[in-house]
Amino acid sequence: MDKFLIKGGTPLAGTIQVSGAKNSALPCMAAAILTEDEVILENIPQVRDIDTERKLLASMGADVELLDGSDHCTRIRCATLSDPVAKYEIVKTMRASSLVLGPLIARTGMARVAMPGGCAIGGRPIDLHIKGLEEMGATIVQEHGYLEARVDRLRGAHLVFDKITVTGTEDLLMAAVLADGETLMENCAREPEVTDLAALLTAMGARIEGAGTTTIRVKGVGRLHGARYRINPDRIEAGTFLIAGAITGGDLTVAGCNPAHLGALIGKLEEAGVRVDLIGPGALRVRPGGQLRGADISTEEYPGFPTDMQAQYMALATQAEGVSLVTENIFENRFMHVQELVRMGANIKVDGRTATVHGPTRLSAASVMCSDLRASASLVLAALVADGQSVLDRVYHMDRGYERIEEKLRGVGAQIERVSKLPAPEAQPAVAD
């Protein structure tokens, strides 16, 4: 099982490149199910969840291949879907399996999808997907760990989400584009990943209005055609790199990002005393602005502070003067990184959904365990400033959403290495009796 060895104390400097957004690529890959024609997606990140999605589509009968000698361009053609089943053996490590439910039933009239797996950070109920599809005419039953859905043809409906859900918005948006009539969706997620998916669907011939707002209107069409589309940069990876530069006191340029998607994080970094400069249409420079200061965050749906940046920000808060309150409003079990940060010397107390971080504290190297994707990122950040060499175990969580992060960080000065096993300890000289 791979581990990271990280020796802290080196300020990061130079330019680091952001990959395509995993959370945009996954629904866009699922959208290829909606047409018999080929869909070509550019700027696809090479991460484990994407590999799983490729295997999932291929298992259903799709033709999936990498193009142009690049790992970042994928061609998908679902001319026939001989087996419209999302098998548990394939999707057990990935939350996004539910994203194929809507397009499968819209295209084939039936779907059998294993209940999603992935990070254990709290409930991400699929009941909102089910409720919406049932209102569009589908019959759905759950048995033996699978959702089985059938319909002659979906029909447009007025859908009001009980709570904001990104994957629910995406799943029902894909279902609605081939439904009979008009679908009105209210209380929708506004995340850039939803807008990215809507842009691809529109390029495929869908009729969508209001993506990026709380109300989306879809007029169903008879069929969609193929398209070529470039995925947005990953705002969470970009944010992680901004914090990496800030926490190490470095001078780091984060290139290939979309600053417009990072407003809440940039504002909070500046409040904490970090200098963030826009140096081009897709590049941000982060460098010290003085002593880091404590600043509170409260996670919210976009455009608020993203839950996927909470753990990374907490690592930064351990190095800030004063008290920072970190409140998690999206997931009920997203503080699993706290105990590992405490093992490294952090002063953090958790009370319900709020963690109180006292800083600055001197972090020391330790052996720590990665519990989920973003918790893994927070431990990498903490290790970058800790005294000595830390060992991070179970970094396969990191591989789900960050492309070659150790290579990228090493390119800007980090002392980080991936190993499959720990090196043997050095032999100690014999001591005479």
Active site residues: 119
Count of other CB atoms within 10 angstroms of residue 258: 17
The maximal CA–CA distance of the chain, rounded, in angstroms, is: 90
Q: Of the candidates 404, 370, 355, 297, which has an alpha carbon nearest to the alpha carbon of residue 46? A: 404
Do 179 and 153 form a contact (C-beta atoms < 8 A)?
yes
CB neighbour class for 33 (10 Å; exposed up to 12, middle 13-18, buried from 19): buried
What distance in Å separates the CA atoms of residue 197 and residue 180, rounded to the nearest whole number? 20
Could you tell me the two tokens for 85? Answer: 């089943």
CA distances from residue 158 to 131, 176, 187, 219, 223 in whole angstroms, order as listed: 12, 11, 11, 12, 21
At position 153, the amino acid (one-letter code) is R
Q: Of the candidates 49, 53, 26, 7, which has an alpha carbon nearest to the alpha carbon of residue 396? A: 49
Q: What interhelical angle do 166-176 and 127-135 show, nearest 10?
A: 20
What distance in Å separates the CA atoms of residue 163 and residue 166, rounded to the nearest whole number? 10
